[in-house]
Amino acid sequence: MSTNIKRIAVFTSGGDAPGMNAAVRAVVRNATHKDLHVYGIYRGYEGMIDGDIKRLETRDVGNIIHRGGTILKTARSKRFMTKEGRQQAHESLMAHDIDACIAIGGNGTFTGASVFNKEFDIPFIGIPGTIDNDLFGTDNTIGFDTAVNTAIEAVDKIRDTADSHNRLFFIEVMGRNAGFIALNTGIGSGASNIMIPERASTIDGLIKQLKKGVKRKKLFSLAIVAEGNKLGNAMEIAELVKAQTDFYDIKVAIIGHLQRGGSPTAADRMLASRLGFSAVEALMDGKTNVMAGVANNKVVYTPFKKAIKNTKTPDADLIHMAEVLGM
């Protein structure tokens, strides 16, 4: 299908994720290859509202493939949730004659894009960029692999000191509503317990599991707590366990925003390059309101509505495996 698209805009929105720059680079380079003009919108929807928009050419995206964060900056925009904000954003796009947009972000970003598309009929393609990996329609989101690698590196260090002192550590990782980071970090770092929002757990169950470990002569233990798990944060869980047990000296570590930074892994650079490239292809094919993803090593397109709503859940087999291996 041929389109009349001549000028496109790209922006990053929501929490930054390592690999976003590689995706921006791929968008700019493939679009330029197709003789399109590319504009970068700075600070996500905030910059769209304020008209913070600049032309991006191939050299503007040189030397960024390895950099964490986002050269386009990012924001979580409250103003874009209002009709007035979106109206202003539309005026900014029109002032630059933008025909279509590529949005790199997560749930909130695509929700905003869907609403905007309905109101102003500007084609939008989404690229999943969030460390949380909580979007349906892609095996991994950009940034997830790097975040898990960073978390595992941190847990490995905690393991050394936990082992030396015979301690139990509750280690909190990110994932407001999703346990993907916690599950993969837990498996990859050999944790004995993993607490995620998608799986109900109880303090009694947790203590029972810990006791089993003690019986098996486990001298120290690592428990990974997803930020959004239902029992509470790592500090609260540690206090509850402390009140009922005396077999370990208990400590807490919160990895926090360390997980969001750093140079993207090879897997994230590959994913971001493929998705940035494919997003431009999709626009040229006349697609709109879809998110580009990679599933089973193939690029696939999923309607925003489905990507946002059908919340992906961690694989039950992996959860079972983590429990068995963490004994």
Residue 175 binds to ligand F6P (criterion: CB under 6 A): yes
327 burial (CB, 10 Å; 0-12 / 13-18 / 19+) is: exposed
Q: In one letter, which amino acid is 216?
A: R
Minimal distance in Å, beta carbon 285 to ligand F6P? 29
Using CB under 6 A, which of the segments 115-123, 130-138, 263-271, 296-304 binds ligand F6P? 130-138
Active site (annotated) includes residue 35: no
Q: Does 15 bind ligand F6P (CB under 6 A)?
A: yes
Length of the chain: 327
Nearer to ligand F6P, 131 or 275 (CB): 131
Q: 267, exposed or middle or buried, with CB in 10 Å at 0-12, 13-18, 19+? A: middle
Nearest approach, Cβ of residue 106 and ligand F6P (Å): 6
List 55, 66, 176, 306, residue binding ligand F6P (CB under 6 A): 176
Alpha helices in the chain (DSSP H): 20-33, 44-50, 83-95, 107-120, 144-165, 180-188, 203-215, 234-244, 266-284, 304-309, 316-325
**Residue 202, helix vs strand vs coil:** coil
Q: Are strands 290-295 and 298-303 parallel, antiparallel or unpaired?
A: antiparallel
Rule CB under 6 A: is residue 132 a binding residue for ligand F6P? yes
| Chain Cα centroid distance, residue 138 | 12
Choose, by CB under 6 A, the member of 104, 131, 135, 171 that binds ligand F6P.
Answer: 131
Please state at what angle helix 107-120 crosses helix 83-95, rounded to 10 degrees: 70
7-12 and 249-254: which strand pairing? unpaired
Nearest approach, Cβ of residue 107 and ligand F6P (Å):
8
Q: Which of 93, 174, 206, 237 binds ligand F6P (CB under 6 A)?
A: 174
Amino acid identity for residue 244 in this structure: Q
Positive or negative torsion for Cα 254, 256, 259, 263? negative
Stretch that binds ligand F6P, among 58-66, 111-119, 154-162, 173-181 (CB under 6 A): 173-181
With CB under 6 A as the contact rule, the residue among 30, 130, 221, 278 that binds ligand F6P is 130
Residue placing its CB nearer to ligand F6P in the complex, 93 or 182: 182
Question: Which is closer to ligand F6P, CB of 93 or CB of 224?
Answer: 224
Structure tokens at 39: 């504009």
Min separation Cβ 190 and ligand F6P, Å: 23
Using the rule CB under 6 A, is 104 a contact of ligand F6P? no
Q: Which residues bind ligand F6P (CB under 6 A)?
A: 15, 106, 130-132, 174-176, 227, 260
Residues with catalytic roles: 132
